[in-house]
Amino acid sequence: MPERSMSEPEPTSSRDADYRSAGFAGKLGFGKRPAVIVIDMVMAYFDRTSPMYAGVEAVAESARRVVDAALSSGVPVFFTQQFFDDALAGGVYARKVRALQLLRRDSALAELHPSVPVERGTIVVKRFPSAFHGTGLNARLRALQVDTLIVTGLTTSGCVRATAMDALLHDFIGVVVREAVGDRDARAHEANLFDIHAKLADVQSEGDVIGWLSTLRAA
């Protein structure tokens, strides 16, 4: 059975130093106008009878704390929901990831986790890994004058990484919350967090992100 622990990574000081000396892992910090996005917090990852079950209950709890902090500070929150439909059936994505067939609109596995306060945010329906691709998310963020996208959700090696990549390509500061993202395998999770932090976005702790959001409320 795949390892599913989301424990902290082993020390990698020599690897970190090597990447820094090569010019990677620059610090972006926080901008001035953030938004939070919760990626695909769907029941397929939480229902123990689902083939996609990933043992990521702690991720949902962390993401909810980040969302609550954002909403308390008046920061906009977006929730993505991915659906498989007939338009995707013959495409490369569906051929590569057969699990998409579980995410039909009429399936309980495609529903968002009960912890997601959908009534307090904006739903973004996506059909590909990135929350930006074909969704209009970029235009929505620009209309809100957002400069920083705080990324939470599932999964680190898939849709979280794709969204962090596209945030960079659309010139947003990306902040991935370490405890609020997860994957079915801890090795994939940690490897992708390392690479995201090196090249795409800042990987920050939940405590640091919530602490920053609270300063916006105070301001």
Indicate which residues carry an active-site annotation: 159
| Percentage helix, strand, coil for the chain under 3-state DSSP, each rounded to 5 | 40, 20, 40
Nearest C-alpha neighbor of 160 from the set 136, 192, 186: 192
What's the first-to-final CA gap in the chain, in angstroms? 48
DSSP conformation class of 89 = T
- C-alpha to C-alpha distance for 210 and 188, rounded to whole angstroms: 25
Distance CA 197, CA 24 (A): 9
Question: Phi, psi at residue 143, to the nearest 5°?
Answer: -60, -30
Tokens of 186: 């801890």
CA gap 7, 92 in Å, rounded: 34
**Amino acid, single-letter form, for residue 57:** E
